[in-house]
């Protein structure tokens, strides 16, 4: 079950299947894709937090009991994937990892722009222990996030790493006590929500493009996005507020 609430421009997506460690069903994947499309199309939130219900798990990925329900491997390949859904989100996304982030749960966290973790969290690319590898982007995303040796160790062994190790290798930005995780995520999200939405979405797009492009192309793309931002009403408001020595009021235009 996917739950969503919004307060002050901050949306919170909660994976609410704690009895199954927030494992994704096909219905949950479809619901997340539909929700992401609504968030963007209807401008429901300026920033989104993704977290898991219960104290044990962020998510352990796909519900393995459903895998044999696909008639053909090709159908499995063409499924509506929850990681693809989250990566399609235009607004910034923060993963608040409250427990196990295994398999597709690790991929889901990697699909967010910022990752925070409780000190009880752990992370694993566990699929290799069952005879396959991840298909939600784990190799590309993990190798772009942590040192090559750390990525290889996780992918080839499937063994978990704890929150302290995740912080050391750069998989997460901050580690908190479990009770402090959501307040810290909300504090960070509210800060981002105060920023001009078009600029925040442009910064997100720019970061992703920079990982995929050569340096010269990435810098040119950055300048194109900068020009778009400079033409917005928000940028004009930012300049007026700076001149008037007052807080800006950004409207997303």
The span from the first CA to the last CA of the chain, in angstroms, equals 34
- Count the Cβ atoms, other than its own, within 10 Å of residue 41: 9
pLDDT band at 201 (very low <50, low <70, confident <90, very high): very high
Say if strands 100-102 and 122-124 run parallel, antiparallel, or are unpaired. Answer: parallel
pLDDT band at 246 (very low <50, low <70, confident <90, very high): very high
Report the pLDDT value the prediction gives residue 62, as an integer from 0 to 100. 87
Task: With CA atoms as reference, report the closest residue to 222 among 231, 234, 213.
Answer: 213
Question: Could you read off the pLDDT of 125-161 as tens digits, one per residue?
Answer: 999 999 988 888 999 999 999 999 999 999 999 999 9
CATH numeric code, 2-193: 3.90.226.10
The answer on pLDDT for 68 being more than 80 is no
Report the pLDDT value the prediction gives residue 124, as an integer from 0 to 100. 98
Provide the greatest CA pair distance for the chain: 64
Report the pLDDT value the prediction gives residue 71, as an integer from 0 to 100. 67
Residue ranges covered by each domain of the chain: 2-193, 197-244
State how far the Cα of 62 lies from the Cα of 102, in Å rounded to an integer. 10
Question: Could you read off the pLDDT of 209-229 as tens digits, one per residue?
Answer: 998 888 999 999 999 999 999
State how far the Cα of 3 lies from the Cα of 145, in Å rounded to an integer. 28
Q: Which residues of 172-208 are buried (b: 16+ CB within 10 A; e: fewer)?
A: beebbeeeebbebbbebbeebbbbbbbbbbbbbeeee
Task: With CA atoms as reference, report the closest residue to 32 among 24, 43, 44.
Answer: 24
Question: Could you read off the pLDDT of 84-136 as tens digits, one per residue?
Answer: 989 999 999 999 999 999 999 999 999 999 999 999 999 999 999 999 888 88
- Catalytically annotated residues: 107, 127
- Count the Cβ atoms, other than its own, within 10 Å of residue 149: 9
State how far the Cα of 179 lies from the Cα of 74, in Å rounded to an integer. 43
State how far the Cα of 132 lies from the Cα of 27, in Å rounded to an integer. 23
- Does the domain made of 197-244 have the CATH classification 3.40.1440? no
Say if strands 122-124 and 161-162 run parallel, antiparallel, or are unpaired. Answer: antiparallel
The dihedral of CA 210, 215, 220, 226: what is its sign? positive
**Mean pLDDT (whole number) for 10-27:** 95
């Amino acid at each position: 079950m996917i739950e969503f609430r919004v307060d002050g421009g901050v949306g919170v997506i909660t994976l609410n299947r704690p009895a199954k460690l927030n494992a994704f069903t096909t219905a949950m994947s479809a619901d997340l894709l539909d929700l992401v499309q609504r968030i963007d199309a209807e401008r429901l939130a300026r920033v989104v937090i993704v977290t898991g219900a219960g104290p044990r798990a962020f998510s352990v990925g796909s519900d393995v009991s459903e895998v044999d329900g696909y008639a053909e491997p090709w159908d499995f390949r063409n499924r509506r994937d929850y990681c693809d859904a989250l990566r399609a989100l235009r607004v910034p996304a923060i993963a608040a990892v409250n427990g196990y982030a295994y398999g597709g749960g690790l991929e889901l966290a990697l699909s967010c722009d910022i990752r925070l973790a409780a000190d009880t969290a752990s992370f694993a690319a566990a699929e290799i222990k069952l005879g396959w590898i991840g298909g939600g982007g784990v190799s590309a995303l993990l190798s772009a996030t942590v040192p090559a040796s750390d990525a290889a160790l996780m992918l080839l062994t499937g063994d978990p790493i704890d929150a302290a190790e995740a912080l050391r290798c750069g998989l997460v930005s901050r580690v908190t006590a479990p009770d402090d995780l959501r307040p810290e995520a909300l504090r960070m999200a509210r800060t981002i929500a105060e920023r001009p939405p078009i600029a925040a979405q442009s910064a997100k797009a720019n970061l992703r493009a920079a990982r995929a492009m050569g340096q010269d192309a990435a810098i040119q793309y950055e300048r194109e996005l900068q020009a778009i931002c400079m033409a917005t009403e928000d940028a004009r408001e930012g300049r007026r507020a700076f001149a008037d020595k007052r807080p800006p009021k950004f409207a997303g235009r």
